[in-house]
């Protein structure tokens, strides 16, 4: 097996659904919050790997709108983990020239989360290396519906609306669509993630649960992607 990444065929944007923290913890006789905490190690190593391999955009599905329905103690723990992670890693993002962006209905997040995110985004806005995008309180359906509402406020003639105009109302308007979508934990579904943007993405599923995912697994996914023929509906 060729284990070398072809830099000429590198996906510009990789999106990852980080799934399996809770089940990973349960297998080890721990609570779900322990799994979320351990998942931070996977986040750090994956980001470092993405930088090492030359990925320009990395989107991590960190918290969905459906996740608000989880038990309050788990949601509260996730929010505290988000706050501490952003606070602790801002210096690392600056050191590695990483720009932070968010997508999703972040106004639903606790005010302290919003403040930490806003400050980190402000501090890293001029960085020119990889762009790290956190999908927080995110839903693909919400994003599309939100775009439609804003378009209706600005356009009265439906013939004026094109795909390119529609995309300008999405939260990813300044980001290229992901060529590769990775999902961990063995589940093979999209789960309401970037529904518009992944129309032609290559999908890669791994049985590894998120806390066990490392840069070597990211490399394996990229190499698998590079072996595929991307036809975009053409022959």
In the chain, where does DSSP find H-type helix? Answer: 21-27, 32-53, 72-95, 111-124, 140-154, 163-167, 215-226
The active-site residue, picked from 2, 3, 6, 19, is 19
- Would residue 45 show up in a list of annotated catalytic residues for this protein? no
DSSP category for residue 196: T
Burial class (CB in 10 A: 0-12, 13-18, 19+), 234: exposed
> In the numeric block, which tokens belong to residue 55?
């990925």
Looking up tokens 């930490």 gives: 116
Identify the three-state secondary structure at position 27. Answer: helix
Based on the residue annotation, tell me whether 19 is a catalytic residue of this protein.
yes
Q: Which of 45, 67, 105, 146 is catalytic?
A: 67
Contact indicator for 143, 165 with CB cutoff of 8 Å: no
Strand partners, 102: 134
Which residues are annotated as catalytic? 19, 67
């Amino acid at each position: 097996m060729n284990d070398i990444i072809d830099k000429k065929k590198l996906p510009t944007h990789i999106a990852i659904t980080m799934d399996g923290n809770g089940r990973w913890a349960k297998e080890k006789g721990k609570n779900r919050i322990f799994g979320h905490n351990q998942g931070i190690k996977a986040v750090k190593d994956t980001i470092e790997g993405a930088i090492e391999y030359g990925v320009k955009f990395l989107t991590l599905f960190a918290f969905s709108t459906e996740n608000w329905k989880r038990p309050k103690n788990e949601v509260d723990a996730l929010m505290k983990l988000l706050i501490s992670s952003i606070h602790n890693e801002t210096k690392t993002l600056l050191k590695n020239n990483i720009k932070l962006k968010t997508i999703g209905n972040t106004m639903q997040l606790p005010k302290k989360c919003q403040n930490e995110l806003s400050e980190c985004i402000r501090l890293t806005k001029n960085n020119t290396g990889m762009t790290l995008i956190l999908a927080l309180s995110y839903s693909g359906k919400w994003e599309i519906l939100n775009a439609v509402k804003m378009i209706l406020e600005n356009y009265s003639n439906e013939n004026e609306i094109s795909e390119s105009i529609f995309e300008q109302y999405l939260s990813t308007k300044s980001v290229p669509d992901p060529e590769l979508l990775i999902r961990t934990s063995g589940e093979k579904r999209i789960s309401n993630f970037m529904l518009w943007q992944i129309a032609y993405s290559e999908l890669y599923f791994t049985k590894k649960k998120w806390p066990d995912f490392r840069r070597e697994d990211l490399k394996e996914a990229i190499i698998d992607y590079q072996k595929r023929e991307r036809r975009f509906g053409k022959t």
